[in-house]
Structure 1
Amino acid sequence: MKKLLVIGVGNTLMIDEGFGVHAIYEFWKERDDWDETLVDFVDGGTFTQDIFYLFEEFENILVLDIVRANQEPGTIFSLEEDQLRKEEKQMLSLHDVDLLDSLGMAQMRGHRPYLRVIGIEPKEINWGTELTPELKKALPDYLEITRKHIREILATSDQTT
Structure 2
Amino acid sequence: MKKLLVLGIGNILLGDEGVGVHAVEELKKETWPEFVHLVDGGTFTHDIFHILEGYDGLLVLDIVHGSKEAGTMYRLEEKDLVQDEKQRLSLHDIDLIDSLNMAEAIGKRPVMRVLGMEPENYTDWSMEMTGTIKAVFPDFLAAARKEIQLFIDEFGQ
With the length of structure 2 as denominator, give the TM-score of the two structures.
Answer: 0.95
User: 2-side partners of 1:129 and 1:29: how far apart?
Assistant: 20
Match of 1:149, SS?
Answer: helix
User: 1-side partners of 2:56 and 2:68: how far apart?
Assistant: 31
> What is the aligned residue count?
156
**1:7 corresponds to:** 7
- Alignment equivalent of 2:118, drawn from 118, 121, 125: 121
User: 1-side partners of 2:117 and 2:44: how far apart?
Assistant: 17
For structure 2, the residue ranges without an aligned partner over 5 or more in a row are none
> Is 1:93 paired with 2:90?
yes
Is the 8 Å Cα contact of residues 119 and 133 (structure 2) preserved in structure 1?
Answer: yes
Q: Letter of the aligned partner of 2:103 in structure 1?
A: A
Note the aligned Cα RMSD (angstroms): 1.2
Q: Deviations over 1:68-126 (max 9, x none)?
A: 11100000000011101111221222222211000010111021111100000000011
Match of 1:92, SS?
Answer: coil
Q: How do 1:56-75 and structure 2 match up within 5 A?
A: 56-75=53-72
Is the 8 Å Cα contact of residues 67 and 119 (structure 1) preserved in structure 2?
Answer: yes
Runs of 4+ in structure 1 deviating by more than 3 angstroms, as ranges, are none
User: 2-side partners of 1:86 and 1:14: how far apart?
Assistant: 28
User: 2-side partners of 1:60 and 1:116: how far apart?
Assistant: 8
Q: How do 1:30-69 and structure 2 match up within 5 A?
A: 30=30, 32=31, 34-36=32-34, 38-69=35-66
Quick one: percent identity of the two aligned structures?
52
Is the 8 Å Cα contact of residues 2 and 155 (structure 2) preserved in structure 1?
Answer: no
With the length of structure 1 as denominator, give the TM-score of the two structures.
Answer: 0.93
> Is 1:153 paired with 2:151?
yes
User: C-alpha displacement at 1:2, in angstroms?
Assistant: 4.2
User: 2-side partners of 1:2 and 1:52: how far apart?
Assistant: 18
Identify the structure with the greater strand proportion: 1
- Alignment equivalent of 1:109, drawn from 100, 106, 111: 106
